[in-house]
Amino acid sequence: MPDPTSNVSGQQLLPFYFQTRLAFPIFPPTPQIDFDLAADRNSDAVFRGLTGPGQPIFTVREDLVLTQRTAFHEIGHAYEALLQRKDASVDWRAKYWAFRGFPGTWQEAAAQAATQTGLGQWVYQPQESWAEAFSIAMAGGGQEKTVDYGRTINPTATKLFFQSLLK
């Protein structure tokens, strides 16, 4: 199917974005919402990177009723990109890995993920763990979909951790 030429589904992300921006002022006033994805695409929603001035870019599948968990997950990817843009000399993911108390390094987890196939790869990817933790922190709860190494997320402590990165 061809992708639609509207962003009606993507507009569902806006309330979650504005809620996030209240807690994390690093987010620009508005995101860029690209045209929706066709209904036959595998992705529900996607963070596509930052514009030149640093505005997060998102797109959503046209038939998706966006949940807060999915919205906050994609916004979590944007948060990591905004932190990286703010200071590329900081290993933000290493800070996250240490906060969670995960074994080894995020680089080792990424290497392990690269040896997996399908969903097995996704659940080990450090950037997906980051986005899952951000989502649970913003939603106030939920079951992590990535490997948690036996370390269940405390939503309140995790939100405070993510906010501490702005200081």
Q: Is the same domain home to 77 and 97?
A: no
Q: Compute the distance between CA of residue 77 and CA of residue 131 in angstroms, rounded to an integer.
A: 5
Q: Is the same domain home to 129 and 79?
A: no
Query: Residue ranges of the alpha helices (H) in the chain?
Result: 14-23, 68-86, 92-100, 106-114, 119-124, 126-139, 155-164
What domain count does the chain have?
2
Distances from the Cα of 77 to the Cα of 57, 81, 126, angstroms = 11, 6, 11
Interval 108-154: pLDDT, tens = 999 999 999 877 799 999 999 999 999 999 999 999 999 999 999 99
Pairing between strand 32-33 and 45-50?
unpaired
pTM above 0.75, yes or no: yes
Pairing between strand 45-50 and 56-60?
antiparallel
Q: Is the same domain home to 61 and 4?
A: yes
- Residue at which a domain ends, from 89, 123, 153: 89
Q: Which domain holds residue 150?
A: 91-167
Q: Is the same domain home to 112 and 126?
A: yes
- CB neighbour list of residue 152: distance below 8 Å, 6 or more residues apart: 144
- Residue at which a domain ends, from 74, 89, 104: 89
